Amino acid sequence: MRSILIPAIKSLTITNKYPDKSLNGDVITVGSDDKYIYHGYLFFDISSIPCNVIISNAELVLFKVDKFYNDNSKKISISPLREYFSTYTTYNKPPDYDHYTIINFYPLTSKISVTVNITTIISSWVKNKPNSKNKGIMLYGKNRDVIISFGSVKSNDNYLVPFIIVNYEISPPNKPSKFEYHTTDKCPKEDCNRKCLKLCKEEFEAIIIKVCNEICKNNCNPQPMPTIRQVRVTGTVAPLSLYYIIVELVITRAGSGREDNYYVTDEYNNLLNNDSLHIDKTYDIAVIPKVQPGDTENVYLHGSYKGPISV
C-alpha cells in the first residue's frame, strides 16, 4: 500500500452576514447560530494520485483554532461540490453541491485536530478523473448553536493548513476478456465472429471519439503523464515505538521560480519489537506537471515518534 499527503490549495468562507462577499482569511468558518450561517470550501489538487489505483482509505485532517472542549452532540457535514468556487463566490451566489453525498463528523472534542474519513469522495474523484469531477468540498453545519473555525490555506502557520492523506494500491492488470476469440483454419464461423468483433470495436471507438469531441468541443486534453521520482529512505526506529514520516519533494520551476510541493507519508510500526527496526524503503512520488529542464529538486524528510497506538 502507498500513501500520499495532499495539502489544500484553495479555501474560502461565505456567510449571510456578508451575503455579497467572500471571506478569504487565515481561517475557514463553519456552522450557524440563530442569526448567521457560515459555509467553508476547500479544494485539493489530486493530479498526483495515479489513475490506475484503488483507494484503500482517504482522510481529511482539519486543525481547530477555537472551541477546544468535549461536546459530541454538535455535528458538521461535508459534501462534494458540483461547481468550482472562486473569490467571486458569495452566499447569494454559492456553487451547487451534491445533496446526496453527506459525511458527518463531530469536531467539538478536546483534540487539536479533526480527522474525517472521506474515502467515498476521493474514490469517486479518482475514478472520474478524466471528467474533472473534483470541484472541491463544502463544509456546513445544520445545528443552530455551533460555529467553529479551522486553519485555512492562508494561515500564517503552515501546520494549520488542511490536508488529505490518501492510501492506495495499484490496480492489477486487466484480465483477458472472456469474449476473446481464437481462429483456426477449420472453423470459419469463429473467424467470422472475430472479424465482426473487430468491426464493432472500431465503430464503437469512433462513436466514443465523436461524443468526446462534442462534449469537449474539440479541446479535449488528455491527463498529463507525471514524472516519477524515487526517494530512498534509510534509518533505524527505536524499540517498542511507532515512527511517522513525511517525505517532501520540492520542485522549483525554472523561469517562474514557483515552488510545487509533493508528499508521501508512512508509518513504521515497531511497537511489538524489543529490538531496533532497520528501515530501507523506496517511495515513488508523482510530479505533475512533469519536471522540465532547468527545474531544481530538493527532498526533505520530516518525522516524529507517535508512541503506542491508542485503542
Q: Answer yes or no: do 18 and 105 share one domain.
A: yes
Let me know whether 90 and 234 are in one domain. Answer: no
Q: Tell me the pTM.
A: 0.58
Instruction: State the first-to-last Cα distance of the chain, in angstroms, to the nearest integer.
Output: 22
Assign 310 a pLDDT band (cuts: 50, 70, 90).
Answer: very low
Say if residue 80's pLDDT is above 90. Answer: yes
Q: How many domains, in total, are found in the chain? A: 2
Q: Does the pLDDT of residue 34 top 50, yes or no? A: yes
Q: Any idea how long the chain is?
A: 311
Determine the Cα–Cα distance for residues 280 and 284; give it in Å rounded to an integer: 14
Which domain covers residue 255, as residue numbers?
Answer: 227-305
Domain membership of residue 32 (yes or no) is yes
Nearby residues of 9 by Cβ (< 8 Å), 6 or more positions away: 43, 44, 45, 153
The angle formed by the CA atoms of residues 62, 169 and 57, to the nearest 5 degrees, is 30
What is the pLDDT, as a whole number, of residue 256? 85
- The verdict on 163 and 232 lying in the same domain is no
